[in-house]
Amino acid sequence: MYRVCFVCTGNICRSPMAESVFRSHVADAGLSGLVEVDSAGTGGWHEGDGADPRTVAVLEAAGYEPGHRARQFRASWFAGLDLVIALDAGHLRDLRALASTPEDAAKVRLLRSYDPAASAAQTDVPDPYYGPLDGFEDCLQLVEAASPGLLAAVSEAVKEKEHTP
């Protein structure tokens, strides 16, 4: 099983959105039995809460399945994960600081690094929490734009993992 975890700040907006979108891409590619997708936050403020209602509304309107309980990312999780996807540069920094080995730190990547249309200056998926609904819609567009590239990378990694004794 190849394991991917999306991480944002509180695990109620961006990362559950990315989790739902990517899980859908994984299912469409026929990889559900080979790839496990989840999400977490760098902080535990919302642990146990569902996704923000605006996240749920945007996901449902786009045809995605939102089902989620917020939780905080733990350093001990690195051992069981293949890829940790940060939603912005602050999360990337925080997650790499949690990593106890260079190998674990190397598992952390920015989501937008998988979007071929994103420039080096466009690394973050902005936090929509304090803004209006259209910020959540913008967030979904950025997540969707990066998902095919991420799926291609994960598909390749799954093939390599299958062929490694």
- Catalytic status, residue 127: yes
- The 3 state secondary structure assigned to 37-72 is EEEEECCCCCCCCCCCHHHHHHHHHCCCCCCCCCCE
- Catalytic status, residue 49: no
Helix (H, G, I), strand (E, B) or coil at 3: strand
Which are the contacts of 5, defined by CB distance < 8 A and separation ≥ 6?
Answer: 37, 38, 39, 40, 73, 77, 81, 83, 84, 85
Per annotation, catalytic residue among 49, 82, 94, 127: 127
Per annotation, catalytic residue among 5, 13, 14, 88: 14
- Catalytic status, residue 5: no
Per annotation, catalytic residue among 8, 13, 52, 139: 8
As annotated, the active-site residues are 8, 14, 127
